[in-house]
Structure 1
Amino acid sequence: MVPFTNLAEFQEGIGLFWRDPDLLLEALTHSSFSYEHPGHRHNQRLEFLGDAVLEIVVSEHLYRRLPDAPEGDLTKIRAAVVCEPALAHVAREMNLGTYLRMGRGEELSGGRERPSVLADALEALLGALYLDQGLEVARWFALQSLEPIISATLAGKGEADYKTRLQELLQKRSPEPLRYVIIKEEGPDHNKLFTAGVVYRGKVLGRGTGRTKKEAEQHAAREALVSFERVEQHH
């Protein structure tokens, strides 16, 4: 069980404090923990709510930020911003996986780093924040967390050839080539999950997962672009 001292540490890390700590604990509880410890509520209902909050917040933000964009473009951009790899990246940035309560089997199989688990937990966290402090605080938290991803996505107008964009960005800095490596393969042959890394000057700039190697590489490039966007915002 995650002790409340760790919950306090998590809240300090993200700069938000829940009035009802039980809501936060529920948001951080994976269903596998509830199966192994009956009586503990898991985060799937909060995930359902957080997904709806995220959609309305991002939709309104894009509507106001892009007053001339047609509906089709807004839909594509929103899909890129709230997709599983993007949400998992945000969750990793706040070290969310460390604070999740999960069953032993799920943890041993790498659940704390699984993109679907992290993305779902982030949505649950947003749902819990909405119930605890209302839409405006939830909006602030969501947009602050997602801004680097929104900006990186808008730079490509929602089209997800992140590998090309990363290549172009790095070529402006140095002619040294970048390369993609497959770090891990999980699952049976008919349902594999690949983890790719993009390497530049001997350093891993980003990691990504996908059902194909190409998809994993695109997500790795996306994570690298988001990291560059965050650095630019702080300069």
Structure 2
Amino acid sequence: MLSDDIFFQEEEKNSILVSRLKKILGFCPKNLKLLKNVFIYSFSTKKKTLDKNHFLYFQRLEFLGDAVLNSIISHFLCEKLPEKKEGELTQVRSKIVCRKNLNEISKKLSLTEVFFQKNQPIISENILGNTLEALIGFIYLEIGYQGCKNFVYKKILHYHVNITQLQNEISSYKVWVIEWSQKNKFIINFNTFREKKEEKNKHVITFFSEITISGCGIKTEGRGHSKKKSEEMAAKAAYFIIQKTCKENT
């Protein structure tokens, strides 16, 4: 009797998974065994309890989905932005496929509703973006490249990606400030130091960064839990000073 209960519970989960995915995908997925590997985090809240074989399949699907997604988006951008050079196209593509953006797209596609354990928090926001890539890998294997391309175009690019807005977004303030300094022949220097702070009897290491742009009197600071983050925060402060100065001079 117990085995029958487990069987019916499993069948119910399969039915729920298919019905929810059908609305998102626009077609009825058939390979349930492979599909379950996409939503492996639906069955556990702790990564260490995940089945190693299933997690390996998840990683392989994620790897495949990442490659297919990059290919499809590259094709889309070449059609959409024929005047752009390779470097500019690469920048726009990186903004579309960055982890933060994929996490948001995953939410907009309602992939969070597919996870069975609704009352339990998702381990990490990045799981959403990773799952989206794994799902794209599954779609590619299930219905082929053209079907996968149609899904990405119709469900993602046409509804959840604003190319004009992305082109105006700054993906890295540090890169922007360095390029601005070089363009205007200013010398820019970054100095970053490790800091130790005492918080609740624990040593917390943070990083302190200072940016100096010689020739225009700009000097900013930033802090973060990594060198990259602290430099980005200092560069962001410099960016806003530059923008304010430019507006005042126009």
TM-score between both structures, scaled by the size of structure 1: 0.59
Structure 2 residue matching 1:41: 3-state secondary structure: helix
What is the letter of the counterpart of residue 20 of structure 1? N
CA offsets per residue over residues 123-161 of structure 1, 9 Å max, x none? Answer: 00000010111001111111221334432x323525338
Equivalences for 1:1-235 in 2 at 5 Å? 3-14=13-24, 15-30=26-41, 33=44, 35-36=48-49, 38=51, 41-42=54-55, 43-100=58-115, 110-111=122-123, 114-144=124-154, 145-151=156-162, 153-160=163-170
Separation in structure 1 between the aligned mates of residue 205 and residue 144 of structure 2, nearest angstrom: 43
Deviation at 1:189, TM superposition (A): 5.8
What is the letter of the counterpart of residue 46 of structure 1? L
Separation in structure 1 between the aligned mates of residue 23 and residue 204 of structure 2, nearest angstrom: 39
Root mean square deviation, CA, Å: 3.6
Deviation at 1:37, TM superposition (A): 5.4
Q: Quick check: 132-141 or 22-31, which moved more?
A: 22-31
Change in Cα spacing, 1:147 to 1:115, as seen in structure 2 (3 Å) is farther
CA contact 1:53–1:127 (8 Å) conserved in 2: yes
CA offsets per residue over residues 35-64 of structure 1, 9 Å max, x none? Answer: 425476131110000000000000111012
Deviation at 1:115, TM superposition (A): 2.4
Separation in structure 2 between the aligned mates of residue 121 and residue 31 of structure 1, nearest angstrom: 10
CA offsets per residue over residues 169-209 of structure 1, 9 Å max, x none? Answer: xxxxxxxxxxxxxxxxxxx9659xxxxxxxxxxxxxxxxxx
Unmatched tracts of structure 2, length 5 or more: 1-9, 172-202, 207-225, 237-250
Structure 1 residue matching 2:158: 3-state secondary structure: helix
For these two proteins, the number of residue pairs brought into alignment is: 166
The structure with more radius of gyration: 2
What is the letter of the counterpart of residue 127 of structure 2? V
TM-score between both structures, scaled by the size of structure 2: 0.56
Q: Between the two structures, name the one with larger relative contact order (CA 8 Å, sep ≥ 6).
A: 1
Identical residues among aligned pairs (%): 26
